[in-house]
Amino acid sequence: MNEETVCATPGYGTPFWASAKSQWRRSNSTWVEQVLIGRVRPARGAASRCGVCQRRCGRYDTGGPRRWRALDVGTVQVVVEADAPRVFCPEHGDVVAYVPWARPGAGQTRAFDLTVAWLTT
């Protein structure tokens, strides 16, 4: 497994730190597909914000690692993984913290959403 660390600002306006590693998925004891897992975290300025209104909020709990499906790179499936704690917003209650690469409640990145929408029209 190769691992690489970068700082990126891929058009989302907020930079975030990322490290990536490549894995093979196994099905019925045979290796069938390669998956690239990008482990990311928002920059300090974007951390601890409400996922809906992006207001700074206090932490509610630590949450856990979450994954978002991203655009494939050739034949390699890409998954973005990050710790997404919940925060307590006075207006929206306890919600998952804001992440710059995905919309609230989505299971895929913004780029994936936009590409799918473009392909369906």
The mean per-residue pLDDT over the stretch 51-75 comes to 88
Sheet of 3-8, strand order: 3-8, 16-27, 30-42, 76-83, 65-73
* pTM, two decimal places: 0.71
Q: Which residue has the tokens 């998956």?
A: 35
Q: Which of residues 80 and 11 earns the better pLDDT score?
A: 80
